[in-house]
């Protein structure tokens, strides 16, 4: 099973194509992009282009410079967020959900409207509904406060320099516990805006 460049959707749950908006470490050139490269090699993902959110959203960094998109559209201090769009098969979505910890309460995969950046084939604006991985609602407000109610427009090389891959983080502490320590610590965020 592969994804055709047209990216048509099927009603069959095993062949359904999901449009996934990536804004952080899954983007080309960043720490977890190898996962998408593997999925592209197996035909379970296709790069669709560079997109940005239609609405403004808070994009912040948490512990280990992990990026978090917060599901607070239009909140003061947020920005339109740049990223990449991929068509991903249902089978390809499984390892992405695993990386994002959707069953562990790290992230939630929810709808988002995005628009292509730059020209496209039909010459007009191309808006689509996709899915994005948002910080879980259980800690999103605290993450926003911890970042001074200011968001990034893009997760860039500057932020990625401080990113620590999961395998290099303390293994005896859960990621949710690491997030809790981050949002409750009295030190300021390590992100400069």
Q: What's the distance, CA 142 to chain centroid?
A: 18
Q: In DSSP terms, which residues pair with 47 in a beta bridge?
A: 86
Domains and CATH numbers, the chain: 14-184 (3.10.490.10)
Whole-number average pLDDT of the chain:
88
3-class DSSP assignment, residue 121: coil
> Residue 11 burial by CB count (10 A; 0-12/13-18/19+): exposed, middle or buried?
exposed
The pLDDT value given to residue 16: 87
Counting Cα atoms < 13 Å in the Cβ hemisphere of 150 gives 7
Q: Coil, strand, or helix at residue 71?
A: coil
Q: Is the pLDDT of residue 1 over 50?
A: no
pLDDT in tens, 12-69: 555 689 999 999 999 999 999 999 999 999 999 999 999 999 999 999 999 999 999 9
Please report the pLDDT score of residue 14 as a whole number: 59
Tell whether the model's pLDDT for residue 71 goes beyond 50: yes
Residue 5 vs residues 57, 142, 188: alpha-carbon distances, Å: 29, 40, 45
| Cα dihedral 72, 153, 191, 134 sign | positive
Question: What is the arithmetic mean of pLDDT over 106-127?
Answer: 81
Which tokens is 13 given? 């749950």
Please state which of the ranges 4-13, 87-96, 170-179 shows the lowest mean pLDDT. Answer: 4-13
Q: Is the pLDDT of residue 3 over 50?
A: yes
| Rounded mean pLDDT, 108-123 | 82
Q: Once rounded to an integer, what is the mean pLDDT over residues 116-120?
A: 74
- Among 84, 100, 154, 159, the active-site one is 100
pLDDT at 186: 78
Q: What is the pLDDT, as a whole number, of residue 124?
A: 53
Sign of CA dihedral 144, 150, 153, 154: negative
- Our answer to whether residue 4 is catalytic in this structure is no
Q: What is the pLDDT of residues 136-155, one digit of tens each?
A: 999 999 999 999 999 999 99
Q: What is the pLDDT of residue 33?
A: 96
């Amino acid at each position: 099973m592969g994804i055709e460049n047209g990216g048509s959707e099927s009603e069959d749950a095993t062949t359904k194509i999901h449009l996934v908006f990536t804004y952080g470490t899954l983007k080309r050139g960043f720490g977890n992009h190898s996962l998408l490269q593997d999925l592209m090699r197996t035909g379970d993902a296709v790069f669709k282009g560079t997109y940005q959110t239609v609405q403004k959203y808070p994009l912040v960094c948490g512990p280990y410079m992990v990026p978090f998109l917060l599901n607070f559209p239009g909140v003061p201090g947020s920005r339109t967020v740049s990223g990449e769009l991929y068509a991903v098969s249902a089978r390809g979505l499984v390892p992405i959900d695993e990386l994002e910890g959707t069953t562990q309460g790290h992230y939630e995969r929810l709808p988002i409207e995005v628009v292509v950046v730059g020209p496209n084939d039909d010459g007009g604006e191309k808006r689509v509904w996709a899915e994005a991985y948002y910080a879980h609602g259980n800690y999103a407000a605290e993450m926003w406060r911890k970042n001074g109610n200011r968001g990034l427009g893009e997760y860039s090389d500057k932020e990625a320099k401080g990113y620590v891959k999961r395998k290099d983080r303390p293994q005896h502490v859960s990621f949710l516990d690491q997030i809790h320590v981050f949002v409750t610590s009295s030190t300021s965020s390590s992100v400069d805006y």
